[in-house]
Amino acid sequence: MSTDALQTLHSSNRIPDRKDVILVTGAAGFIGSCLVKYLNELGYENLIISDDFSRPDKWKNLEGKQYLQRIDREHLLDWLAHEGWEHPIQFIFHIGARTDTTEFNRQIFERLNVQYSQQLWTYATKRQIPFLYASSAATYGDGSKGYDDDHAHIPELKPLNPYGWSKQQFDLWVLSQSITPPYWYGLKFFNVYGPNEYHKGRMASVIWHAYQQIQETGIVRLFQSHRPEYRDGEQLRDFIYVKDILKICVWCMQHLPPSGIYNAGTGQARTFYDLAKATFEAAGKPVQIQYIPIPEDIRNTYQYFTQARIEKLRRAGFQDEFYSLENGITDYVQQYLINHQYY
């Protein structure tokens, strides 16, 4: 098929409707599977979903969800090149990534988070498909450079681990591109929690771990502070409920705001003590907290404060209110964790 013919399959200034085909990568993972469900709820069922489907512990994340076709991550680029034209894609949500912050093999991150993302971006550019990808607040490192998503500020950031480095490398590569998809969005996800993270193990949210500890022992273990300016349990993070992340993602698709990198957080940092207290209350249990040392393998790269600046997102037009930490945790615990439900 000629380039001109391919171009006619896409209306790059048009908002995708419910009959259009949408690609979601990372679709069996935590945020990706929630996004598939949310799209289904809004009437979008013509989805191409992609992930590493070899892990049985992620299969339940996709039960009951509607999609056109499932493509393994390793075959997606070939499929797009040879058969993708049969189902012209109108929007790409690139949520898939290697997200283990305790993995220190940079080659893994280079291949999965940088090179693979570059290839998908190049495909979206060539086919003129709007493209949204998951960046991360891990790019902000220790926070000494602030949490401003202004593009001029991004080259100054110094991530603390290979995962954050890989997300920063792709952000910088994107900003260096003179030819781009018609609309593109890099969302710097802050501390996301919510249903469908059962498979994540050590990398699951603090709320998930807190709830498991409450059920098993009645005690939540929080990290001690190894910095004098913070008391134990008073380290601060911008925790955002996954349902708010979904709203931001789909809002970008439905409104096509100005292209760019945007923070995806609530703009309100809260303490780990607040988080633990809210989890106890949602579970109907008395508050009992024990403080333990931060493991040495992550102690030097541990973030003590994160808080998204969200003025740019607000200026672009996203005006929805976010779940409070207490309301988000209550929904997560009572609607999902107590009965081991999936979204």
Q: Which residues participate in catalysis according to the annotation?
A: 163, 200
CB contact at 8 A, 291 and 184: no
Q: Which of 200, 192, 176, 191 is nearest to 114 (CA)?
A: 176
Cα–Cα distance, 258 to 223 (Å, whole number): 40
229: tokens are 């300016």
38: tokens are 């949310």
Question: Longest C-alpha distance within the chain, in Å?
Answer: 66
3-state percent breakdown (helix, strand, coil) of the chain, nearest 5: 45, 15, 40
In Å, what is the CA distance from 317 to each residue of 19, 93, 127, 175, 313? 25, 20, 27, 22, 7
30 in the Ramachandran plot: left (φ > 0), alpha (ψ -120 to 50) or beta?
Answer: alpha
